[in-house]
Amino acid sequence: MRKLITARGLVVSCQAYEGEPLYGPHYMAEMAKGAELGGAIGIRANGVADIFVMKQHIQVPIIGLNKRKMEGSDVYITPTVEDALAVYAAGANIVAIDGTKRPRPDGRSLADTVKQLKQHKIPIMADISNDEEGLYAAELGVDYISTTLSGYTPYSPQISGPDIELVARLSRTVRIPIAAEGKYSQPAEVNRALEAGAQFVVIGSAITRPQYITERFIHAIPGDLKQNNERL
Ligand SMILES: CC(=O)N[C@H](C=O)[C@@H](O)[C@H](O)[C@H](O)COP(=O)(O)O
């Protein structure tokens, strides 16, 4: 059995999209090493190549996923059982899958997907967007639920910051570990999510996307100076 995340703390999501400057397994593995050195208790990573390379360089558990947009389905986080098996084979300790009931490109239901992965003894994180999905995923027997998709399904609250309320409500209703994930950018928000009952908080863009981090600082500069900066 691969190591799970049992501690409380911070998980760093090291992901870059194609076209971004840090895209590629080498950069992401270095990023993961940095996060581990800084005290991350786990790493979240996208794609078999990144996961495979990271695995050679870090000790902490990896939550792996495979983002893949396929025609006719809105499900893109590890959308098929086949994707999940590949992510696990690449070395992920836990496989993150879309935990909504939306139609999946392989035609399987969420229940069937979870069942298949459990047969392979693969630890599952269900990425959910609201209370109902969290409860359902927990009933199906997933190992973790994560609030990853709150704000990313049309029927979940479209708020600009993290959905800490969802973490608080779920922690009162489900017995499995909850990951607080999505739009965390301030240390105070991390503390609030932990106080609300999250086992750990997953942070991506605010730590691992330099273009986003730079933009945030620039947008905080008042009018005139910001314009100077944009002209550089
Ligand atoms: C919605 C979706 O596709 N989320 C993805 C899931 O793996 C990633 O793009 C996010 O970076 C990750 O969830 C961490 O969130 P944030 O980058 O906001 O800290």
Instruction: Write out pLDDT tens, residues 165-192.
Output: 999 999 999 999 999 999 999 999 999 9
pLDDT at 229: 62
Q: Which residue's C-alpha comes closest to atom 6 of ligand 1?
A: 148
Q: Give 229's Cβ-side CA count (13 Å radius).
A: 13
CA of 184 to the centre of ligand 1 (A): 10
Q: How far, in Å, is the centroid of ligand 1 from the Cα of 106? A: 23
Please compute, for residue 17, the number of CA atoms within 13 A of its CA located in the half-sphere on the CB side: 7
Find the CATH number of the domain harbouring 68: 3.20.20.70
CB 97 within 8 A of CB 78: yes
Q: How far is the CA of 231 from the centre of ligand 1 (A)?
A: 30
Whole-complex ipTM: 0.99
Domain presence at residue 3: no
Q: Whose CA is nearest to atom 8 of ligand 1?
A: 204
Structural domain harbouring 193: 9-231
Q: Is 14 domain-assigned?
A: yes
Quick one: which atom of ligand 1 is closest to the CA of 208? 17
Residue in this structure with the two tokens 């999209």, named with its chain if needed: 17
pLDDT bin (cut points 50, 70, 90) of residue 228 is low
Residue of minimum CA distance from atom 5 in ligand 1: 148
Q: How many domains is the chain partitioned into structurally?
A: 1
Going from the Cα of 204 to the center of ligand 1, the distance in angstroms, rounded, reads 6
Closest to 179 in 3D by CA, of 205, 136, 144, 151 = 144
Is residue 223 very low, low, confident or very high in pLDDT (cuts 50, 70, 90)? confident
Please report whether residue 130 resides in a domain.
Answer: yes
- Pick the residue whose CA is nearest to atom 4 on ligand 1: 148
For residue range 87-124, list pLDDT tens digits in order: 999 999 999 999 999 999 999 999 999 999 999 999 99
Closest residue by CA, ligand 1 atom 19: 204
- The ligand 1 site (C-beta within 6 Å) comprises 13, 15, 65, 148-149, 152, 181-184, 202-206
From 129, 146, 148, mutation site for ligand 1 pocket: most ligand atoms within 8 A of C-beta: 148
What is the model's pTM? 0.96
Going by alpha carbons, the residue nearest to atom 1 of ligand 1 is 149
Report the C-alpha gap between 40 and 196 in whole angstroms: 20
Nearest alpha-carbon partner for 67 in 149, 138, 123, 9: 149
Q: Please tell me the distance from the alpha carbon of residue 46 to that of residue 56, in angstroms, as a whole number.
A: 16
- Whether residue 4 is contained in a domain is answered as no
Minimum-distance ligand 1 atom for the alpha carbon of 203: 19
38 inside domain? yes
pLDDT-derived band of residue 1, with 50, 70 and 90 as boundaries? confident
